[in-house]
Amino acid sequence: MNNKKALPILFAIMFLVMVGFGIIIPVLPFYAEEIGASPLQLGLLMGVYSVMQLLFAPMWGRISDRVGRKPVIMIGIAGLALSFFLMAVSSQLWMLFAARMIGGILSSANMPTVMAYVADITSEEDRGKGMGIIGAAVGLGFIFGPAIGGVFSKESLSTPFYIAGAFSVITFILVLFVLKESLAPELRQGHLKKGKSILSAFKGPSSILFILQWFVSLSLSGLEATFAYFGAEKAGLGTTSLGYIFMIMGLAGAIVQGGLVGRLTKKLGEGFVIQLGIVISALGFGLILLIDSFLTAAVFLTVFGIGNGFIRPSVSSLLTKTSAAGHGSTTGLLSSFDSLGRVIGPPMGGWLFSVSMGLPYLSGIILSAAAFLLYRIYTLQHKRRVAS
């Protein structure tokens, strides 16, 4: 399947996956509370999904290098559907935890394998564009999903879970009948013969890019976990206003990833785009400290969202070009570092906010500066390696 046909299909797949995932976001806290979850248990329920993704994403990426992309994507989507239907029928807290764990373990196959598929079908010149399109699909799914979940939760709190499960079943059928395999049998055999471990992706200068992405994920998840409190305190923002602000930010990020990333990486290279994204993100963090109204919150958070939108697709693209491991192993490990940021970021952001409400955003500036410095170190090491 050529990339002109495959990329729109991959966009649709990831969009549907993330709509399904997003549908349950506004509902799960109330659903868990109805079953009897305490605030601590709710936090654990939200976190256990990211922990499972942290642990299992590299495994699925490696498996996709050995058996092909399509079967692994199908496992991930089937696991997502199963977890949604299990949550819909959960009557006790342990059932919700089991469903979230199953979902985290199996659905961690989706993102790294789809990104590996993009790396398989794109030239190095167009890699950034392909990764950006997938990033845009994820962003748009997160915009539409919560809105759908909020509307249908008025009927019953379990209804959004059934709808999310239905979205996953539709996505599974799309993959089964429309998506072709991207990894040729001889390439799969090549990965089997090499027998490299997952950690072979974390060698040389490339290892710095994984840590850079972890810093970016840490700062983003710290912001997401605390901005509701910060916005309420600084600008009197309520839940509806916050929903609109995050929607605007997500839409801006999706437009950047779907349109600008590909053009800029093709013309100026991934390195320039990564650094540009880090600088704009740091500026966004600084501006967020100055919010005093809905308008300033929307504009300043959008600045941050644009910067953040430049980084992940460009890092993914650069890693798949430079890593010694297979595309699946590389993108799986990258997803794991992303998840590590989402596990540590929210409690770290919450703790910083409890010390002083501006600290999560000041720490975001510091993490951005550290990420920028890491990229400069990566550049020096990469040049030395090429020269030798």
Question: Going residue by residue through the chain (388 aa), what tens digit of pLDDT does each one get?
Answer: 555 688 999 999 999 999 988 888 888 888 888 888 887 888 888 889 989 999 999 999 999 999 999 999 999 999 999 999 999 999 999 999 999 999 999 999 999 999 999 999 999 999 999 999 999 999 999 888 888 888 888 778 889 999 999 999 999 999 999 999 998 887 776 655 555 566 677 788 889 999 999 999 999 999 988 998 899 999 998 878 888 898 899 999 999 999 899 999 999 999 999 999 999 999 999 999 999 999 999 999 999 999 999 999 999 999 999 887 889 999 999 999 999 999 999 999 999 999 999 999 999 999 999 999 999 999 999 888 888 7
In angstroms and rounded to an integer, the radius of gyration of the C-alpha atoms of the chain is: 20
Cα(156)–Cα(160) distance, integer angstroms: 8
* ∠ Cα 107 123 64 (to 5°): 30
- Do 300 and 383 lie in one domain? The reply is yes
Residue 185 resides in a domain: no
- Do 133 and 21 lie in one domain? The reply is yes
Cα(281)–Cα(301) distance, integer angstroms: 9
Residue 321 resides in a domain: yes
- Do 225 and 260 lie in one domain? The reply is yes
Cα(73)–Cα(50) distance, integer angstroms: 18
Contacts of 49 (CB under 8 A, 6+ apart): 100, 101, 103, 104
Give the residue from 146, 179, 212 where a domain finishes: 179
- Do 368 and 331 lie in one domain? The reply is yes
Give the residue from 179, 213, 248 where a domain finishes: 179
Q: What is the DSSP letter of 292?
A: -
* ∠ Cα 363 256 121 (to 5°): 110
CATH number of domain containing 355: 1.20.1250.20
Give the pair of three-digit tokens for residue 123: 């030239």
* Residue 163 dihedral angles phi and psi, to the nearest 5°: -65, -45
- Do 215 and 333 lie in one domain? The reply is yes
Cα(214)–Cα(317) distance, integer angstroms: 16
Instruction: Write out the residue range of the structural domain in which residue 296 sits.
Output: 199-388
Place of tokens 């199908």: 74
Cα(343)–Cα(22) distance, integer angstroms: 18
Residue 99 resides in a domain: yes
Closest alpha carbon to 72 in 56, 83, 61: 61
Give the residue from 150, 179, 208 where a domain finishes: 179
Domains of the chain: total: 2
**Residue 60, Cβ neighbours under 10 Å: how many?**
28
